Structure 1
Amino acid sequence: MKDFYNWAHEVSVDSSFPVAKSDKEIAEFATSGENIIRIVSGNIFRTLGGSENRKHVPTREATMCEIDLGAVQFNNKKFLFASHCSLRQHHFSTKGVLVMNSQFYKNRRVAIRGHPSDGKLDVISSELNFRQYMLASKLSESGSHMPHPDIDIKSTGQHSFSFQRDMRIYTDGQLIGRGDAVDISLLSKAIKVII
């Protein structure tokens, strides 16, 4: 077994491990108690160097990584997320909070330092107007970034949010509820994934 900086290892695998085809499925497997899964798609897969363009061919050797997951708690409910959690007032909104555990959100690279094994979540708060949002969105597609006074980024293991009105809460792209008080935390080395 080869060690890559204590978070990834070269391992021999077989086909008995469950396969996650999305970030949402990674969180679902973790919630159901799975300890080791294969991943073949999604933002976590891309962040860890996986390529979705090539045909998935099972091999006997692969890379296993221990990754962190995020947890969001509101209204006495708790949900896990693998890649990201979004807090916004409307379905489409230029203002809100994006909590990242990977580099990618949809087709955009929004958290250039984001990594699912670094022991922290990147919290990106935005107060952009529509024009500024469109420009920032276009730049993030290419991985380019420009500092902006209406975008605040910080890395943390946990954070609490309090809003004046209910926000829509999404985990890995799925609406899970609404709340005005939201707690986000990191679950360190929560699951092992095979790429």
Structure 2
Amino acid sequence: MLLPFDFQQDPYLILDFSATNPDLTTLDLTNTATFSAYVFGKMQAAGAKVGVGGYNEHRVIYRRSEHFTNTHKGGSEEPREIHLGIDFWAEVGTPVFAPLDGIVHSFQDNAHFGDYGPTIILEHATTNQPLYSLYGHLTRSSLDGLFVDKAFKAGEKLAEIGPYPENGDWPPHLHFQLMTDMLGLRGDFPGVCSLTDRARFLAICPNPNDLLGIEDL
């Protein structure tokens, strides 16, 4: 269990943040309150307790932040628009549980507009290859008392979904991502890549729904 929702019983809404969603052409995505009202308004209208989706989605919402371009660094590389995890849009304070036994690999507060905010990465023991899981957009208090190698059992509470702006200034949600190679990084890992890098990152970021098994995702 990752979140306190039964995806076989509880209603959920698949949210589309690609260019095929006409709502996004008129929505001021740079205004987090407006963006959040849109997300939770769609969920309320659908009678859904949680919004889900996004793996390998070519999104337009990252244009709200320079964090997903390299122009603010003086670079000329293409923008990052391919989402590498699954998002779970839910109320602030929603508990997040470790879906597998694991230990804390690293954690930090990635405190930039459009970034992860408070982030935890777990390392899991597997027989075939390394496996890591990332949890982004948490409460700052979720990092309290953490230390590298701290153990969590599957089903044990790990964190809580955070509010904006402390969650990286996003509508409240959990970014959940799997990686088989950390690329030497700690406390952070790209959750979005460029079109050019899509195949390379998808090869090391498997679909989290293979673990979660949510129907229709």
Larger strand proportion of the pair: 1
Q: Which has the higher contact order (CA 8 A, sep 6+)?
A: 1
Larger helix proportion of the pair: 2
